[in-house]
């Protein structure tokens, strides 16, 4: 009996693209396109209210809030930001609800610096400068009506 002749594996010519390369290319293009759409659709924050504009510390606090806090706490501090609905514990309503851990400067600074005890609120102590921490504490307390 004669054994069937084995054919060597066929290689793709250099000018042809295999399905794996095509899939990678299409996936890469989709990721790039999604990133471009995401960054082009971002809505800039509204300008700060006049009483905030007149105080440089409050203005800095407003800018930090819009950059770090608005996603969870929302534009008005009502705990209704776009990320609020995907967290296991609803973010604090900074306007109406009593503040569980205190509303004095020291207590607010501690929560912002160290994060929330349940681990949902992130700690910003290492990512914000001392001036930004002071400003965000003042802005949050101002926004909540704790200071005038």
CATH number of the domain within which 80 lies: 1.10.760.10
Task: Calculate what percentage of the chain has a pLDDT beyond 90.
Answer: 42
Domain range holding 136?
50-143
Residue at 44 is within a domain? no
Give the dihedral of Cα atoms 84, 89, 94, 96; nearest 10 deg: 110
Residue at 4 is within a domain? no
Which pLDDT value is given to residue 46? 86
**pLDDT tens digits for range 45-97:** 888 889 999 999 999 999 999 999 999 999 999 999 888 888 888 898 998 87
- Count how many domains the chain has: 1
Residue at 6 is within a domain? no
Which pLDDT value is given to residue 42? 66
Is a pLDDT exceeding 80 seen at residue 11?
Answer: no
DSSP state of 87: S
Averaged over 111-140, what is the pLDDT? Answer: 92
Residue at 41 is within a domain? no
Residue at 66 is within a domain? yes
Burial of 100 (0-12, 13-18, 19+ CB in 10 A): exposed
Q: Please name the residue that has the structure tokens 């802005």.
A: 139
Is a pLDDT exceeding 60 seen at residue 7?
Answer: yes
Residue at 5 is within a domain? no
Residue at 36 is within a domain? no
CA distance 80 to 58: 22
């Amino acid at each position: 009996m004669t054994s069937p002749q084995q054919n060597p594996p066929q290689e793709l010519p250099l000018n042809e693209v295999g399905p794996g390369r095509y899939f990678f290319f299409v996936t890469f293009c989709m990721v790039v396109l999604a990133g471009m759409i995401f960054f082009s659709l971002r809505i800039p924050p509204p300008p700060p209210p006049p009483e905030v504009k007149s105080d440089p510390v409050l203005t800095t606090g407003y800018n930090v809030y819009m950059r770090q806090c608005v996603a969870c706490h929302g534009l008005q501090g009502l705990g209704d930001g776009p990320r609020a609905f995907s967290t296991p514990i609803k973010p604090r309503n900074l306007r109406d609800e009593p503040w569980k851990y205190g509303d004095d400067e020291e207590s607010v600074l501690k929560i912002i610096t160290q994060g929330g005890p349940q681990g949902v609120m992130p700690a910003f102590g290492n990512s914000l400068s001392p001036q930004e921490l002071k400003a965000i504490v003042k802005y949050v307390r101002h926004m909540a009506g704790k200071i005038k």
